Amino acid sequence: GEDVEQSLFLSVREGDSSVINCTYTDSSSTYLYWYKQEPGAGLQLLTYIFSNMDMKQDQRLTVLLNKKDKHLSLRIADTQTGDSAIYFCAERYSSASKIIFGSGTRLSIRP
């Protein structure tokens, strides 16, 4: 069945790069997403990548997709305190109606 896995926690020093990793199982996924959830708020779409792409860059965010290993990563350059949040990886399943979310990675920033 479909599954999306992430580590639960990541701690980085302010100014360093953060790399959040995700693995998924459905090789027929068409889109893969990264969502950000700040405390007390809903999820906000950060970025997405189409499955025929290897990389997508958007300002401080870089998404890398390794289809062979079914591995997705989100790199945040120059991590700031405002980046503290839970980051969810998600895949759009082959049927149009379903998006599967990972458990979320809580990113904390050290001074």
Partner 1 sequence: EAQVTQNPRYLITVTGKKLTVTCSQNMNHEYMSWYRQDPGLGLRQIYYSMNVEVTDKGDVPEGYKVSRKEKRNFPLILESPSPNQTSLYFCASSSGAGGGNNEQFFGPGTRLTVL
Residue closer to partner 1 (CB basis): 4 or 85:
4
Residue 49: closest CA among 69, 28, 76, 31: 31
Distances in Å between the Cα of 51 and the Cα atoms of 9, 28, 64, 96 are 26, 9, 11, 14
| Separation between Cα atoms, residue 109 and residue 97, nearest integer Å | 35
CB of 6 to partner 1, least distance (A): 8
Residue among 18, 24, 70, 88 that touches partner 1 (CB under 8 A): 88
Does residue 103 touch partner 1 according to CB under 8 A? yes
| Separation between Cα atoms, residue 22 and residue 1, nearest integer Å | 16
Residue among 85, 104, 107, 109 that touches partner 1 (CB under 8 A): 104
Residue among 10, 12, 43, 61 that touches partner 1 (CB under 8 A): 43
Residues that bind partner 1 (CB under 8 A): 4, 6, 8, 30-31, 40-45, 48, 50, 88, 92, 96-99, 101-104
